[in-house]
Chain A
Amino acid sequence: MTTDKWELYGQTFASRLLIGSALYPSPAVMNAAIEDSGAEIVTVSLRRQSPQQGGGSQFWQFLKELNKTLLPNTAGCHSAKEAITLAEMSRELFETDWLKLEVVGDDYNLQPDPYGTVEAAEALIKRGFKVFPYCIDDLVVCQRLRDVGCEVIMPWGSPIGTGRGLMNPYALQTLRQRLPEVALIVDAGIGKPSHAVQALELGYDGVLLNTAVAQADNPQLMAEAFRDAVRCGRNAYLAGAMPERQTASPSTPTLGTPFWHQQ
């Protein structure tokens, strides 16, 4: 097994799986699944709460027990202004300048708004945030995000929660080739471990997923499957896949083939 590590904004990690904390059947299953996934980075969020709900203190307790690096998101924000305000609130509450930036452009497929995302990323980086932008797989959008200072970019595989995998491997491959200096993470749309393998085989540095584990019949077992999938894909990438060929080529030596006769 390889022991390669990777860096995100100066912090080193061994696991290439980032995992969400939502949609699990129970907090106990969430903790167990996240633990079994091997993920070191967990996404969280902020929402309106009434004092009667304990102000989020119970969830806060679960997060502390997990002892993972937290990546707060700005899910549900529809403008750069909203995302910037929510980012400031997250930084204070979670005591981290890491931020998964989400600016929704379309409520139907939750497609990120590229204009709002770039605008917010630039403003947040100037305010000292370490921005992980969730974005579409468009090369120019990702170049703009890099230009404003994003060291990590997270294009979607397919829309959030669809589990449809990598809709456009060509676009993702183009990003990998053209942005070699950026840590690229496929975020959203990963439904099966094979999707994660494919992303890592393409040279992606990691994957971020939530629903695929949380909504599996057995979240803990699926978490293990994804833990192994990212290792598998990464090792395959490092090992270097053979080139595809148009025609068959025997793998067993042809010299000494039995029953062979010159016609």
Chain B
Amino acid sequence: MISIRVNNEPRQCDPNLSLECLLAFWGFESTQIAVAVNESFVPRSRYSDCHLENGDRVEVLAPVQGG
């Protein structure tokens, strides 16, 4: 298991699982989120071959009101 942060919350995860599996496991619906790892954008098409490393910071963002 590795230690990562998702939206600044600490989490443990299996490094063998892809980002796609992890997002589903965490309960995110992939069509309504956008993801960055370590402040770099990860396109939806790359979720399946993206694997996290210890210390990675994941941002999972969704649409909100804005000015």
Do A20 and B66 touch (CB < 8 A)?
Answer: yes
Using a CB–CB cutoff of 8 Å, the interface residues on chain A facing chain B are 20-24, 30, 43-53, 55-57, 59-60, 63, 72-73, 75, 81-82, 85-86, 88-90, 92-94, 160, 210-211
Do B66 and A21 touch (CB < 8 A)?
Answer: yes
A sample of 19 cross-chain residue pairs with beta-carbon separation below 8 angstroms, ordered by A number, consists of A20-B66, A22-B66, A22-B67, A23-B65, A30-B65, A46-B64, A48-B7, A49-B7, A55-B28, A55-B29, A60-B62, A60-B63, A72-B66, A75-B67, A82-B39, A86-B61, A92-B44, A94-B63, A211-B67
> Which residues 34-62 of B sit at the A interface, judged by CB distance below 8 A?
34-36, 39-41, 43-44, 59-62
> Which residues 6-48 of B sit at the A interface, judged by CB distance below 8 A?
7-8, 26-29, 32-36, 39-41, 43-44
Do B67 and A210 touch (CB < 8 A)?
Answer: yes
By a CB distance below 8 angstroms, the chain A residues around B26 are 51
Q: What 10 A-B pairs are tightest by C-beta distance, nearest first?
A: A45-B66, A56-B62, A51-B27, A89-B34, A20-B67, A210-B67, A88-B41, A49-B62, A22-B65, A46-B61
Cβ of B35 to closest chain A Cβ, rounded Å: 7
By a CB distance below 8 angstroms, the chain B residues around A59 are 62-65
Do A57 and B34 touch (CB < 8 A)?
Answer: no
Known contacts A56-B33, A92-B41, then 9 further A-B pairs from the complex at CB < 8 Å, ordered by chain A residue: A46-B62, A48-B7, A49-B60, A52-B27, A56-B64, A57-B32, A60-B32, A60-B62, A89-B34
Question: A181–B10 Cα gap in the complex (Å)?
Answer: 50
Instruction: Find the residue from B27, B33, B35 having the highest chain A CB count within 10 A.
Output: B33
Do A63 and B63 touch (CB < 8 A)?
Answer: yes
Do A81 and B64 touch (CB < 8 A)?
Answer: no
Question: A89–B46 Cα gap in the complex (Å)?
Answer: 13
Count of interface residues, chain B, beta-carbon cutoff 8 Å: 25
Do A56 and B41 touch (CB < 8 A)?
Answer: no
Question: A73–B43 Cα gap in the complex (Å)?
Answer: 19
Question: A82–B57 Cα gap in the complex (Å)?
Answer: 14
By a CB distance below 8 angstroms, the chain A residues around B63 are 44-46, 56, 59-60, 63, 93-94
Tell which of B7, B33, B59, B67 touches A73, judged by Cβ atoms closer than 8 Å. B67
Do A47 and B64 touch (CB < 8 A)?
Answer: yes
Instruction: Find the residue from B27, B44, B65 having the highest chain A CB count within 10 A.
Output: B65
Cβ of A104 to closest chain B Cβ, rounded Å: 13
Do B67 and A23 touch (CB < 8 A)?
Answer: yes
Do A44 and B64 touch (CB < 8 A)?
Answer: yes
Closest to A20 in B: B67
Do B64 and A73 touch (CB < 8 A)?
Answer: no
By a CB distance below 8 angstroms, the chain A residues around B33 are 49, 55-56, 93
Question: A34–B37 Cα gap in the complex (Å)?
Answer: 35
